[in-house]
């Protein structure tokens, strides 16, 4: 298996623009997690899904953030409108359950 | 809400020395995970600890779990420069991570 695949790897956008981050989990994994990592706040859990159903979205910072998992092989994290404070590395991870397998991350810069 | 605390947050050590990183968590959990992150890279799984008293070793790293004390340790033996990285623990309840311990091993 190719592992967890995230795209884009790097995104630079201007404040107010919509940003969509994508994730393809490892086939057969039931859980999918979205994390955000910054120097100030560390690694924050944003939301996780079990069998495509959102289980805990308490970490989503505000209504500008939304996440979907329309099927077992694809998830998106959308920010609309984006703000400079959203600049971070966003990681997607999947698990069978148990041990997490991380993607390479999407580095977002909002100017 | 589950809280996961690691200490120290920063650790600078000489090659050849031993040290221990601690991970405390606030609610009952039966599983704990350790991950390593190199600068600019993703997180890589190191250890999966599945029960009270579990001990796992890989090279110069050894991890243990005490579920009664809600404590896990990551022990470094005879550190080498290649171990320089940030180490995270995570608790299985909802896979929340500690703040990480940034380890620097100096020659």
Which tens digit of pLDDT belongs to each residue from B10-28? 999 999 999 999 999 998 8
- pLDDT for position B51: 86
- In order of B42, B59, B101, the CA distances from B37 in angstroms are 6, 17, 10
Which tens digit of pLDDT belongs to each residue from B58-91? 999 999 999 999 999 999 999 999 999 999 999 9
Residues of chain A found within 8 Å of residue B99, distances taken between Cβ atoms: 42
Task: State whether the Cα torsion A81-A85-A89-A94 is positive or negative.
Answer: negative
pLDDT in tens, chain A (111 residues): 689 999 999 999 999 999 999 999 999 999 999 999 999 999 999 999 999 999 999 999 889 999 999 999 999 999 999 999 999 999 999 999 889 999 999 999 999
- pLDDT for position B8: 96
Q: Does A43 touch chain B (CB under 8 A)?
A: yes
Q: Select from A33, A103, A104 the Cβ nearest to the Cβ of B95.
A: A33
Residues of chain B found within 8 Å of residue A105, distances taken between Cβ atoms: 42
- In order of A10, A40, A49, A78, A87, the CA distances from A82 in angstroms are 15, 19, 23, 9, 9
């Amino acid at each position: 298996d190719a592992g967890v695949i995230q795209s884009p790897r790097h995104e630079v956008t201007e404040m107010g623009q919509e940003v969509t981050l994508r994730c393809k989990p490892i086939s057969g994994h039931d859980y999918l997690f979205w994390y955000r990592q910054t120097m100030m706040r560390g690694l924050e859990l944003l939301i996780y899904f079990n069998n495509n159903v959102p289980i805990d979205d308490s970490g989503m910072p505000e209504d500008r953030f939304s996440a979907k998992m329309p099927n077992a092989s694809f998830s998106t994290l959308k920010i609309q409108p984006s703000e400079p404070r959203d600049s971070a590395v966003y990681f997607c991870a999947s698990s069978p359950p148990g041990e997490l397998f991380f993607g390479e991350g999407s580095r977002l810069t909002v100017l | 809400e589950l809280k996961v605390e690691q200490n120290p947050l920063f650790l600078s050590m000489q090659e050849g020395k031993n040290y221990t990183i601690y991970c405390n968590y606030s609610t009952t959990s039966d599983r704990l995970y350790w991950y390593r992150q190199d600068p600019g890279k993703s997180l890589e799984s190191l250890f999966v600890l599945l029960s009270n008293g579990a001990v796992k070793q890989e090279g110069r790293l050894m991890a243990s779990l005490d579920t009664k004390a809600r404590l896990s340790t990551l022990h470094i033996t005879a550190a080498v420069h290649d171990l320089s990285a940030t180490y995270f623990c995570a608790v299985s309840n909802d896979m929340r991570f500690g703040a990480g311990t940034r380890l620097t091993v100096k020659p």
